[in-house]
Structure 1
Amino acid sequence: MHILSFLPTKVAVSTSILSKQWQFLWMWLPKLEYSSLRYCSAIGEFIDKYLPLHRSPVIERLKLSVEPIQPEDIKRWVDIAVSRCVRDLIFIIVQRIKIYFPAAFTPAIHDESLQGLLDICPVLEDLSVLLRGECSMGEISVIVPTLQRLSLSVSCSCYLDGYVIDTPSLKYLKLEDWNNSAHDVEIRDMPELREAYVDVVFFVLKSVIGSITSLKHLTICSEIPKRGWEDDVYGGGFVFNQLEHLELCVCKDNSSDLLGQLLKDSPNLRVLDIYHKGDTDMVCWNQPSLVPQCLLSSLQIFNWSGYFGRQQERDIAVHILKNACVLNKVTIFADIVQYSVPHLKMIKELAFSSRASSTCELVFVECPYEMFD
């Protein structure tokens, strides 16, 4: 059994012909993964012929991957998954599902099939939904009371009416949505959420922000309008009282303003990671009129990956060094090529700036720009 757990499901099933001792071992595997790059019917055959023989009381992971050519093939795959995987095998408890919707996906296929599959998985804990290519969809719903981990990815060319996320037990959320076309986003309260990765357009951020205030670790990448966005997004007075670790990408428009707002709204922040994964210039740093509480009392670690030594970056780094009273360590992963700022100049500008913490250690690490992509 231990050996079979390392094999693809197709290979594990094939071992049943080796001997009587091996004949039924695969039936007790807790994880099933099946891929077919050419024929959707192969997955249908696997579900129809072999899955009913499976005897494990719990399927920890069920992953069916297929790249069909025609949209009707996708419908067949989803319909089979709904009708055979669980409904006819009611003793199976599915805890993890990964669903991949490629290009040419039509609205008639997804709605009932996706939520229908979720409805018959009463203890589902881990769900990934990937909307890829030039798909066209209606509204999708992810309503799962037991779900603990959710990854939802919407490509910029996938047009949809919107989505609803209602997952009160969720602990981890990964949301990627860079589709600028108008679509509704409803994310209901997630009181158990502790970690989130949010890479979205601005109007999606507006819908997300109020539901993620309970987390401890936030990774965020979002463009921000030039003016007036604070009242638009933070009209409800959201505060991240439990946030301890913030990772912020500063490659989007006006992302330095988002940094200032998040510092202000995270009074117990302990770790700040700034990183840069694109070639867009940051706008000038608008220094807060009041020093954020986290700088005065809680921030201990500050890391910057993809530091180019430009004026706006220096302003941010100097502001943090000057006001972070309990800062222990600052690590700068400095680019030494992209903007031709001499490494020694970078070091001097920060090393000679004033520091609120007398015990703060400043470390420079030379890195080529490619490491930050």
Structure 2
Amino acid sequence: MDRISQLPDELLLQILSFLPSTKQVVATKVLSKRWQFLWKMVPKLAPVIQALHFKLSQACSSGDIRVWIRDADKRCVLELIIDIDICSFPGGRRSTRVSLPRSCRMLVTLKLSNAVLVDDVSSSISFPSLKKLSLISIKFASCNFVDKLLSSCPVLEDLVIHDQFQDDFIAVWRVKVPSLKSLFVHKSEYIKYLRWFCIDTPSLECLHILEKAILDVSHHNSLDPIKSVKHLELCSSKISKDACPVVFLRLEKLRVCTCGTQWMYLLMHVLGASPNLRALKLERRGSQHATAPELSEPSSVPRCLLTSLETFEWVQYEGAKEEKEVAAFILRNANCLKKATIISPQHTHRDKKFEMVKELASWPRGSRTCQLVFD
């Protein structure tokens, strides 16, 4: 090392310029007094930046943003935040178009706010190290780009989607990320129409959807991640007896698919865990009726039936033994029920419909003001 230290500055600086990272260049200052300040003289020394936050106005061009993202990746930036000022938009509408680079090898965290993401259909994108992705008030150029973006993140663990405007035409979000552990979805009060999320995340541990959740219970061991939702749709072809240990204090609307063999078990557990439920809908989506075991009534009537349930609807009701048991149980115990709507399949013969109507009308009802509608 002493012999190398005797070399002229020009040669030593050239040696330092070949080191792969700025961190390694700076580390040479501890070698000796000769090297203590030499690293500061290295030309084109890239700064060491772990996090980079841009707060921009709409005057910033898409090309500039793309260059910054590419340069951030070259400098091994781990966290990148691009926040475009919504106050600078005419009429408060997003207009700044952002085109993502083809690859960001080192980026671990990416947060984008108030922009229009443009898809370059001729090229692929890749975020091999990205673990956290936050999309706040982002408008996409196409439905396919959402799938393209998420599929480019093979190790993604945390995803945040925050909708704030209703000028985005993507009605269905498809979140298919095998590595995803946490999903947070928030719909702003300004969005009046319903946005659907199709979730296929086998590694999911935490799911927060503030307005509505749709879940296939057969892919999840617990309903705990969605205990804060107001609207919930459940479908189960199989379910563990430990799948419903939580309490849904905020749940107001529940929809249960009756296509599985254990839908009654699921229904009774969720009813018992939803003290403030106001609307219940049962519907069979499958083409064939699945025979379920006999109803095992709970030891106590669910609180929601006694104090809060106001509307009950059953679509594709065929009058099977287990269906009669469930319908009779609900009508008998729903003290606050205002309206019960029973809809039979279109192919049901009118004579059978008449028999079902007579049977339903003869059952006792806990609510004297309940209106029974049969279609």
> In structure 1, which of residues 230, 243, 266 is the aligned counterpart of residue 241 of structure 2?
230
Question: Hey, what's the Cα distance between the residues in 2 that align with 1:177 and 1:276?
Answer: 20
How far the C-alpha of 1:302 sits from its partner, in A, is 0.4
CA RMSD of aligned residues (A): 4.7
In structure 1, the residue matched to 2:307 is 297
Assess if the C-alpha contact under 8 Å between 1:218 and 1:247 holds in 2.
Answer: yes
In structure 2, the residue matched to 1:140 is 156
Give TM-score, length-normalised by structure 1.
Answer: 0.58
In structure 2, the residue matched to 1:31 is none
> In structure 2, which of residues 274, 281, 288 is the aligned counterpart of residue 266 of structure 1?
274
What letter matches 2:296 in structure 1?
Answer: Q
Question: Hey, what's the Cα distance between the residues in 2 that align with 1:247 and 1:99?
Answer: 36
Assess if the C-alpha contact under 8 Å between 2:331 and 2:365 holds in 1.
Answer: yes
Secondary structure in 2 matching 1:274: strand
How far the C-alpha of 1:242 sits from its partner, in A, is 1.7
In structure 1, the residue matched to 2:371 is 361
Give TM-score, length-normalised by structure 2.
Answer: 0.58
> In structure 1, which of residues 73, 83, 94 is the aligned counterpart of residue 114 of structure 2?
94
Residue pairs, 1:17-166, within 5 angstroms: 57-58=88-89, 60=94, 79=101, 93-94=113-114, 109-112=126-129, 115=132, 118=133, 123-124=136-137, 131=147, 138-144=154-160, 147-148=162-163, 153=174, 161-166=178-183
Secondary structure in 2 matching 1:304: strand
Question: Are the structure 2 counterparts of residues 288 and 223 from structure 1 closer, same or farther at C-alpha, using a change threshold of 3 Å?
Answer: same
Question: Are the structure 2 counterparts of residues 95 and 347 from structure 1 closer, same or farther at C-alpha, using a change threshold of 3 Å?
Answer: farther
How far the C-alpha of 1:110 sits from its partner, in A, is 4.6
How far the C-alpha of 1:301 sits from its partner, in A, is 0.7
Question: Hey, what's the Cα distance between the residues in 2 that align with 1:187 and 1:126?
Answer: 25
Question: Are the structure 2 counterparts of residues 217 and 168 from structure 1 closer, same or farther at C-alpha, using a change threshold of 3 Å?
Answer: closer
Assess if the C-alpha contact under 8 Å between 1:218 and 1:246 holds in 2.
Answer: yes
Question: Are the structure 2 counterparts of residues 125 and 269 from structure 1 closer, same or farther at C-alpha, using a change threshold of 3 Å?
Answer: farther
Question: Are the structure 2 counterparts of residues 200 and 309 from structure 1 closer, same or farther at C-alpha, using a change threshold of 3 Å?
Answer: same
Question: Are the structure 2 counterparts of residues 344 and 336 from structure 1 closer, same or farther at C-alpha, using a change threshold of 3 Å?
Answer: farther
Question: Hey, what's the Cα distance between the residues in 2 that align with 1:61 and 1:327?
Answer: 48
Secondary structure in 2 matching 1:321: helix
Secondary structure in 2 matching 1:307: coil
> In structure 2, which of residues 193, 198, 203 is the aligned counterpart of residue 184 of structure 1?
203
Give the unaligned 5+ runs of structure 1.
1-27, 29-45, 65-76, 84-89, 366-373
Q: Does 1:214 align with 2:248?
A: no
Decide which structure has the larger Cα Rg and report it: 2
CA deviation profile, 1:219-252 (whole Å, cap 9, x unmatched)? 2223323xxx132x23xx4101121111122223
> In structure 1, which of residues 247, 262, 276 is the aligned counterpart of residue 284 of structure 2?
276
How far the C-alpha of 1:100 sits from its partner, in A, is 12
What letter matches 1:278 in structure 2?
Answer: G
Question: Are the structure 2 counterparts of residues 97 and 352 from structure 1 closer, same or farther at C-alpha, using a change threshold of 3 Å?
Answer: farther
Question: Are the structure 2 counterparts of residues 152 and 344 from structure 1 closer, same or farther at C-alpha, using a change threshold of 3 Å?
Answer: same
Question: Hey, what's the Cα distance between the residues in 2 that align with 1:213 and 1:198?
Answer: 12
Question: Are the structure 2 counterparts of residues 126 and 300 from structure 1 closer, same or farther at C-alpha, using a change threshold of 3 Å?
Answer: farther
In structure 2, the residue matched to 1:9 is none
Secondary structure in 2 matching 1:335: coil
How far the C-alpha of 1:320 sits from its partner, in A, is 0.7
